[in-house]
Amino acid sequence: MDALTSPEFWLAVGQIIMIDILLGGDNAVVIALACRKLPDAQRRMGIIYGTAGAIALRVILIFFALTLLAIPFLKIVGALLLVWIGVKLLAPGDEDEHGNIEGSDRLWAAVKTVIIADLVMSIDNVIAIAGAAEGAGGEHKMFLVVFGLVVSIPIIVWGSQFVIKLMDRFPAIITAGGMLLGWIAGTMLVTDPAVANTEAWTWFIKLPQTDWVRYAAGVVGAVGVLLVGRAMAKRSAAGSPPEAH
């Protein structure tokens, strides 16, 4: 395939893998919580079936997301959501998002829990991966999405502890991930049909569809996420009560 020799294709694959690792750490937690009560003999099957169901559901959601991104103004909304997700990545809250995930001692009940929980938690992954796939262009978007997910899901499920330790040791990985989401948001926003189409929605701002404009928008998005995320993190740290000794 010609796509496999394209630098844009492999750049987008790398972005999808990084996005899924950074934003998909919850998947491993959900799978562990949902399958923790299963007998040892069924636990592996629960993990495999739950992960397979979650992947299939994610591909379907991303397919619809890629289709919807052709509608005017939806890329702008998606870009703003990505900026918010990137800022949250740099300035995470303290709330426990997994407190309501209950384990089950029945295989298919555990699998259902994994799939439903992944559906609820997958909006950030879906938007970010759809944006990264859009950047590759061409007719290979869904192949790109599936390829990226197939590579990254095993890393999340079986290597999650290593990835978490790596992020704890090298916080720059998380910073780079947040900036990557800002970059994707910027490049997504300026390619929205409402911005790119000069013959329609003439009341809306128009930008030339050049590489320079997309790169500039990506830089603005990346730097914006970094600055806002750090500012919110500092404010959160300043407002936190001092630790007791």
Please indicate, yes or no, if residue 244 is contained in any of the structural domains. Answer: no
Measured between alpha carbons, how far is 206 from 183 in angstroms, rounded to an integer?
19
Please indicate, yes or no, if residue 203 is contained in any of the structural domains. Answer: yes
Please indicate, yes or no, if residue 242 is contained in any of the structural domains. Answer: no
Please indicate, yes or no, if residue 21 is contained in any of the structural domains. Answer: yes
Please indicate, yes or no, if residue 245 is contained in any of the structural domains. Answer: no
- Give me the half-sphere count of Cα atoms (radius 13 Å) on the Cβ side of residue 215: 3
**Tokens 């590579």, residue located:** 151
* Predicted confidence (pLDDT) per residue in 119-129, tens digit: 666 666 777 77
Q: Given a cut of 60, is residue 32 above it in pLDDT?
A: yes
Please indicate, yes or no, if residue 216 is contained in any of the structural domains. Answer: yes
Record the tokens describing residue 61, joined without a space.
Answer: 């959601």
Which of 30 and 244 is assigned the larger pLDDT? 30
- Determine phi and psi for 158, rounding to 5 degrees: -100, -15
| The predicted structure's pLDDT at residue 135 | 65
Q: In total, how many domains does the chain have?
A: 1
Q: Which amino acid is at 55?
A: I
Which of 220 and 172 is assigned the larger pLDDT? 220
Please indicate, yes or no, if residue 45 is contained in any of the structural domains. Answer: yes
Q: Given a cut of 90, is residue 220 above it in pLDDT?
A: yes
Task: Print burial letters for 128-137: b (CB count within 10 Å at least 16), e (below 16).
Answer: bbbbbbbbbe
Please indicate, yes or no, if residue 241 is contained in any of the structural domains. Answer: no
Q: Which domain holds residue 125?
A: 2-232
Query: Mean pLDDT across the stretch 36-62?
Result: 78
